[in-house]
Amino acid sequence: MIVHKIHLPHSKNSAESETVTLPLPHRAIISTAQHVGAVCTPTVKVGDRVKIGDVIADSDAVMSAPVHASISGTVSEFTEVLHISGRNMPAIVIESDGLGEISGDIKPPVINSREDFLDAVRRSGSIGLGGAGFPTSMKLGFDPKEKQPDKLIINGAECEPYITSDYRCFIEEGEKVLDGALQIMKYLDIPECIIGIEDNKPKAIAKMRELCASHPNVTIFPLKSSYPQGAEKTLIYSTTKRVVKEGTLPIACGCIVINSSTCAFISDYLKTGMPLVSRRITVDGNIVKKPANFIAAVGMSIGEIVYYAELCAEPDRIILGGPMMGACAFELDYPLSKTNNAVLLFNNSPVYKPTACIRCGRCVRACSMGLMPTAIETAFDLRDAKKLDALNVNLCVNCGACSFVCPAKRNLAEKNQLAKAFLREQANSIKGA
């Protein structure tokens, strides 16, 4: 396992601001593609009345999580929203009745077994709130007869600049993070938990140490503040020195990794039965007057959320997520999804023109996965699938570190993503032949 990492400016400007819960919006546009995996099918029709927490879309696919109404009102239309993948995805529009009524189905789940717990996690609509969007029930739904993990790792690294939503969760809801972890350990029979937090968050480390003092099987692990410390494989290596081999999942080395805010949500859901209908989001950037964290309804317009943080200029760059792994949005009129942990707004953003590679090797030294980004770029430009495979491009975690350090400003991380998509296409065309 290669562990070269890079150092980024932290710019955690919203770290000390208490989270503000925003009023419910007049309208919610809720995508049915809220997670990695199958797109859900609407279970409502135009004209239906819905209340907060009602299921509005679901799927039979294993890799999925139901989608719930985040406001009460009437389903007014089905539309499409631009997904982070660049494709249009179906969405359900709800016009608010202004009442904020909660569904009569909301009640804490009754849990007597592992199966009950996994069923509840699925029904909660939980997905990885750190940005990856993997359905939580899939992550926790391992077969103990095949492999039983011995370590639950809580990812509180939050290594990207600006983002503080997990940090605020530790500070404001640390009890829930711990409780969520204890519940997972109890129902899935995992004996040990490690909560990894970067050492640039001493208050979060101190708070969690205090809370965990009476739980000897839960350890707080201060992680060196470097990037990409929060990448799953890197985090597992940093906390346990175990290596997730290529083509395998963390469970193969006895680990399950869950984001800290996801843990807090699971704790909440088990107590209240309220599914994932809102989330914490950081708003920051060089034109944001009041960098802050907000709790907002899923489907609320990003523009409306940003309004509460006050902009002092028009943005020329809007990033959903962090500056390293986030995706640029064309406009602010974009609905909040379960996976959005931040929106960053900038103006006067530098535009770089790539120049020729000077073979300095910085991209290779920066890559935590031990890849050769410049060789991958050349192989992709030649559409050389064999070479890309030999260069292990599929190990790339899209962290962007190679692009960040490149003095020639080459778009290496972008090429890696394109190369992975190219290999997938090749594999699919071979299967289909």
Binding region for ligand SF4 (CB under 6 A) = 357-363, 366-367, 369, 371, 373-374, 396-402, 405-408, 410, 412-413, 416
Tokens of residue 399, six digits: 């962290």
The distance of closest approach from Cβ of residue 362 to ligand SF4 in the complex, given in angstroms and rounded to an integer, is 4
The distance of closest approach from Cβ of residue 396 to ligand SF4 in the complex, given in angstroms and rounded to an integer, is 3
Strand partners, 259: 155
Query: Of 356 and 433, which has the nearer Cβ to ligand SF4?
Result: 356
- Report the phi/psi class of residue 112: left, alpha or beta, with left for phi > 0 and alpha for psi in -120 to 50: alpha
Query: Of 173 and 377, which has the nearer Cβ to ligand SF4?
Result: 377
Query: Of 270 and 412, which has the nearer Cβ to ligand SF4?
Result: 412
The distance of closest approach from Cβ of residue 366 to ligand SF4 in the complex, given in angstroms and rounded to an integer, is 5
Query: Of 202 and 361, which has the nearer Cβ to ligand SF4?
Result: 361
d(CA 270, CA 109) in angstroms, rounded, equals 6
Query: Of 224 and 289, which has the nearer Cβ to ligand SF4?
Result: 224
The distance of closest approach from Cβ of residue 279 to ligand SF4 in the complex, given in angstroms and rounded to an integer, is 26
Tokens of residue 385, six digits: 């699938």
d(CA 317, CA 330) in angstroms, rounded, equals 8
The distance of closest approach from Cβ of residue 236 to ligand SF4 in the complex, given in angstroms and rounded to an integer, is 15
Give the torsion sign (CA, 55, 57, 60, 66): negative
Query: Of 121 and 397, which has the nearer Cβ to ligand SF4?
Result: 397
Question: Helix 165-188 crosses helix 202-212 at what angle (to 10 degrees)?
Answer: 30
At position 159, the amino acid (one-letter code) is: C
The distance of closest approach from Cβ of residue 355 to ligand SF4 in the complex, given in angstroms and rounded to an integer, is 8
Query: Of 40 and 366, which has the nearer Cβ to ligand SF4?
Result: 366
**Beta strand spans in 270-406 (E):** 278-284, 292-297, 317-320, 327-329, 342-346
Tokens of residue 203, six digits: 């208050």
Question: Helices in 72-127 by DSSP H: which ranges?
Answer: 114-123
d(CA 347, CA 328) in angstroms, rounded, equals 13
d(CA 252, CA 264) in angstroms, rounded, equals 25
406: phi then psi, degrees, rounded to nearest 5? -70, 120
At position 143, the amino acid (one-letter code) is: D
The distance of closest approach from Cβ of residue 408 to ligand SF4 in the complex, given in angstroms and rounded to an integer, is 4
